[in-house]
A and B are shown apart, each in its own frame.
Chain A
Amino acid sequence: MARPKLPRKSTNVDMTAMCDVAFLLLTFFILATKFKPPEAIEIVTPKSVASKVAPSKDVVLVSVDRDGKVFFSIEDPDAKKYIANAINNTKNLGIDVNAFVNAQFIGVPFSQLKAFLALPEADRKANALPGIPVDTTKGPNEMIDWMRYAVDAYQGKKMNLLLKGDNKSKYPSIEGVINAFKKTDQLKFEMVTNPEAVPTGSELWKLAQKGQRTEE
């Protein structure tokens, strides 16, 4: 006697549920991603074992590119407006406040600031600009003035001072920037780096193995 035939099951799978989940995740990640605006200043940051994520709010960023040119940028429009007015009051440069607020970064000496702000946004290329002078052998360290304005603008608020340098930038520019920080009593700042694994077997690694917190 032949055995009763098993009913043939279809190999078709209902994909609807899987599709639903996939697109739900997709929507989540699309909404959660924050794209960085294309960087006007090209900087390759060095690596460090620091695991603290760089702050993104109330940032005053000082960038030093590979040629040692210094750029200054502030995100907060109110602080920018304050700084622009302060520059006009103290230096009589007559700069356009709105143009200053819209500028992503500043990379010229004060003497060229007005001409710089008159340039269209697309023409402000970091490699064509002279940068903010910090070398005291060639003239005043203008970074001190910028830091003073920034400190005034952030009075009563917390200011996250970031230094972002390129791997190849030479120390004198960094020194000029650090001196400007010192002169304005900004003794606490953070350096932007890329994360790197802690070397196995080192003291910090042993601490991490014990489960101790390594960041203060």
Chain B
Amino acid sequence: MAEMDTSSGGGHKKGPGVKKGKKMSTRVDLTPMVDLGFLLITFFIFTTTMSQPTAMKLFLPKDADKPDEQNKIKESGALTILLGGDNTVFYYEGELAPNGTNFKSANYSNGDEGIRAEILRKKASTPEKDLMVVIKPSPQCTYKNVVDALDEMSINVIKRYALVDISPVEEQLVQKSQAAAATGN
């Protein structure tokens, strides 16, 4: 380690009677300074890289007033995902059956019961140009659920998807199923 050099430099003898001025070394112990420097560097490195929020893009469909101006999707290629409260998620393929038989529930996990498995299954069984995922958030769901659902679209590389308002019939179904799920557990 760097130390204070106390031995007087030069060392050649002066004549007798000449007072020896004590020569101090100019070397300073830099170790603590270096320590502090690196500590601060580490701090600043971490603060610069950690606080970078990212942004995900979303394109909204334009509201078309006339029914014939609305985008048409093939029934066979449509997958509707309904986001309920308490992190519940429901889905149905094509059009909702009047008796609600094709209305199924899923969850946000990665397992077989998860919505991701369902999206992938639908994606594999449908020609790419027909595939359309419709996300309908119910009033009970949180913003996190919406972002998670949109994120699933980019994770599973779904090209066509839309965020659409929920219809009253669907909302009722979601609420009913949610209540059933709450009492069932």
Contact = CB atoms under 8 A, between A and B. Distances in A.
A66 B40 CA distance: 35
A22 B34 contact: yes
A49 B156 CA distance: 11
A53 B55 contact: yes
Interface in A136-192: 162, 165-172, 174-175, 178, 181-182, 185, 187-192
A33 interface: yes
A46 interface: yes
Q: Which of B31, B142, B146: most chain A Cβ within 10 A?
A: B142
B54 A166 contact: no
A199 B38 CA distance: 35
A68 to B, nearest CB: 9
Contacts of B148: 46
Contacts of B179: none
Nearest to B147: A46
Interface residues of chain A: helix, strand, loop or mixed (majority): mixed
B165 interface: yes
A199 B48 CA distance: 25
Contacts of B53: 45, 53-54, 192-195
Interface in B105-154: 110, 116, 120, 137-148, 150-151, 154
Given A19-B34, A195-B54, 20 more contacts: A23-B37, A25-B37, A29-B40, A30-B44, A35-B47, A50-B54, A53-B55, A167-B142, A171-B83, A171-B137, A171-B138, A171-B142, A175-B137, A182-B62, A185-B62, A187-B59, A190-B56, A191-B147, A203-B157, A207-B157
Per CB-CB distance, the 8 closest pairs between chain A and chain B, nearest first, are A29-B44, A22-B37, A50-B56, A165-B143, A190-B55, A15-B30, A54-B55, A167-B144
Interface of A: 11-16, 18-19, 22-23, 25-26, 29-30, 32-33, 35-36, 45-55, 64, 162, 165-172, 174-175, 178, 181-182, 185, 187-196, 198-199, 202-204, 207, 214, 216
